Structure 1
Amino acid sequence: MASNPVQFIQQVRSEVGKVHWPSRREVVLTTVMVFVMAALTATFFFLVDKIIQLGLAAVLGI
């Protein structure tokens, strides 16, 4: 299914016109949500790591 470059560009422009581009507010909100979730995940794994560290220290008597 080979097409010439002009048809390709026309098809690309047609498809780009169908894309729903997010608003600035949507981008900011989702970016903030990603940073919040990353911070919560990092905190969770930090706490789990500390609990495991304390448990091992208690078992091994270090």
Structure 2
Amino acid sequence: MMAKANPLQFMQQVRAEVSKVAWPTRREVGLTTVMVFVMAGLTSLFFFVIDLLIRTGLTTLLNYIH
């Protein structure tokens, strides 16, 4: 079982841990955000093309059979 710390010790431990965090710069956040949107766009384009190919192939196959 874990030992409970009093509120003052807890806050000191929280501050110590938060000071260890490597916070990203504004530029890094902006660049990462842009990259997420670019990758989302490329992924949606990829699935659009795959869907189009499957739909065209099935339509052609069904028209050939019918």
The TM-score, its normalising length taken from structure 1, stands at 0.94
Q: What is aligned with 2:15? A: 13
Matches within 5 A, 1:1-62: 1-61=3-63
Q: Which runs of 5+ in 1 are unaligned?
A: none
Partner secondary structure for residue 48 of structure 1: helix
Deviation at 1:22, TM superposition (A): 0.6
Deviation at 1:59, TM superposition (A): 0.9
Task: Say what the alpha-carbon RMSD is for the aligned residues.
Answer: 1.1
* 4+ residue runs over 3 A deviation: none
Deviation at 1:4, TM superposition (A): 1.1
Deviation at 1:51, TM superposition (A): 0.3
Instruction: Report % sequence identity.
Output: 61
Partner secondary structure for residue 46 of structure 2: helix
Equivalent residue pairs, number: 62
